[in-house]
């Protein structure tokens, strides 16, 4: 999700009326998703300072849409994530490491069609935590939430071709590159090519089953 994390021009959520939707639990509050070393939880306004410090560095932000530039702008982004979650179109988790409550990054999932049949996800983690296993464990937790709770059947991701870690991260968790979106992402005045990836529910369930047979705990 290169168009992350917040675009003020899209901040115009149409709130459904009570008789239009059945509000599910995740719309009221995101569940806490706990793994061995990672805990994913709802974002809080107090996460703004650490997310600002973690996600605005050049190495983190060079291949994603510019993140908010101030702590106050991150607070507005976090409030927006709550409104979108309540509306049932988007979920954004804070990434924390077990035993510490500090937000070191985010995973976000947004619907691509009403009802979350297909969705797109994106992620960003402070560079001090790259290569530590935080991404892989967090991604597996998010995939479980996406396919089991949101009932998504197809989860897409877009990743700038030059983004070596982003492409490597997607491939190692089973995302399949399906195509190339030529000059689809404007960054620093240049249009970049993006690879289009997807994970479909059937493939994800099959890989969970084979991981279980191999004695690995997936979700
Ligand atoms: C994307 C991100 C969340 C991944 O987290 P991470 O901790 O760096 O990911 P991991 O180290 O677990 O996995 C990255 C994989 O890519 C591989 N990789 C690194 N550089 C690479 C390159 N230039 N080309 C190909 N693969 C590369 C790594 O070796 C690793 O695979 P391995 O674990 O099998 O060795 C993190 O790098 C990040 O926040 N980047 C900035 C934001 C961003 O680009 N978001 C993604 C948008 S699609």
pLDDT in tens, 98-114: 999 999 999 999 999 99
For 29, other C-beta atoms within 10 Å of its C-beta total 12
How far, in Å, is the centroid of ligand 1 from the Cα of 146? Answer: 21
d(CA 119, CA 150): 9
pLDDT band at 216 (very low <50, low <70, confident <90, very high): low
pLDDT band at 215 (very low <50, low <70, confident <90, very high): confident
How far, in Å, is the centroid of ligand 1 from the Cα of 132? Answer: 10
Pick the residue whose CA is nearest to atom 45 on ligand 1: 124
Determine contact, residues 135/38, Cβ cutoff 8 Å: no
For 165, other C-beta atoms within 10 Å of its C-beta total 15
How far, in Å, is the centroid of ligand 1 from the Cα of 164? Answer: 6
pLDDT band at 33 (very low <50, low <70, confident <90, very high): very high
The whole-number average pLDDT for the span 55-78 is 97
How far, in Å, is the centroid of ligand 1 from the Cα of 169? Answer: 4
d(CA 81, CA 83): 5
The whole-number average pLDDT for the span 134-152 is 98
Distances (CA, A) of 88 to 108, 114, 138: 13, 9, 21
The whole-number average pLDDT for the span 128-141 is 98
- The pLDDT value given to residue 218: 54
Is the model's pLDDT at 195 over the cut of 80? Answer: yes
Residue in 87, 103, 105, 71 with CA at minimum distance from that of residue 11: 87
Could you tell me if the CB of 121 is within 6 A of ligand 1?
Answer: no
Is the model's pLDDT at 23 over the cut of 80? Answer: no
Could you tell me if the CB of 122 is within 6 A of ligand 1?
Answer: yes
Check: pTM over 0.85? Answer yes or no. Answer: yes
Residue of 169, 184, 185 best suited for mutating to test ligand 1, as the one with most atoms within 8 Å of CB: 169
How far, in Å, is the centroid of ligand 1 from the Cα of 167? Answer: 7
Is the model's pLDDT at 1 over the cut of 60? Answer: no
Residue 186 φ/ψ region, left for φ over 0, alpha for ψ in the -120 to 50 degree band, beta for the rest: beta
- The pLDDT value given to residue 167: 98
Percentage of the chain beyond pLDDT 90 is: 83
Determine contact, residues 80/20, Cβ cutoff 8 Å: no
Write out pLDDT tens, residues 42-53: 999 999 999 999
The whole-number average pLDDT for the span 86-108 is 97
For 178, other C-beta atoms within 10 Å of its C-beta total 10
Determine contact, residues 121/109, Cβ cutoff 8 Å: yes
pLDDT band at 24 (very low <50, low <70, confident <90, very high): confident
- The pLDDT value given to residue 82: 98
């Amino acid at each position: 999700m290169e168009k992350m994390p917040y675009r003020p021009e899209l901040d115009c959520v149409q709130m459904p009326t009570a008789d239009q939707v059945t509000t599910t639990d995740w719309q009221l509050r995101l569940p806490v998703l706990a793994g061995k070393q990672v805990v994913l939880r709802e974002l809080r306004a107090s996460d703004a300072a650490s997310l600002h410090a973690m996600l605005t560095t050049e190495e983190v932000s060079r291949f994603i849409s510019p993140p908010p530039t101030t702590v106050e702008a991150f607070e507005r982004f976090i409030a927006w994530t709550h409104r979108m979650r309540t509306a049932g179109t988007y979920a954004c988790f804070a990434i924390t490491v077990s035993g510490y409550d500090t937000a070191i990054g985010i995973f976000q999932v947004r619907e691509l069609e009403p009802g979350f049949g297909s969705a797109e996800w994106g992620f960003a983690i402070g560079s001090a935590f790259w290569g530590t296993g935080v991404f892989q464990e967090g991604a597996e937790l998010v995939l479980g939430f996406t396919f089991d709770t949101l009932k998504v059947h197809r989860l897409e991701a877009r990743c700038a071709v030059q983004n070596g870690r982003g492409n490597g991260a997607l491939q190692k968790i089973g995302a399949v590159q399906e195509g190339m979106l030529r000059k689809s992402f404007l960054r620093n005045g240049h249009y970049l090519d993006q690879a289009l990836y997807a994970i479909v529910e059937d493939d994800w369930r099959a890989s969970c089953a084979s991981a279980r047979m191999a004695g690995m705990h997936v979700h």
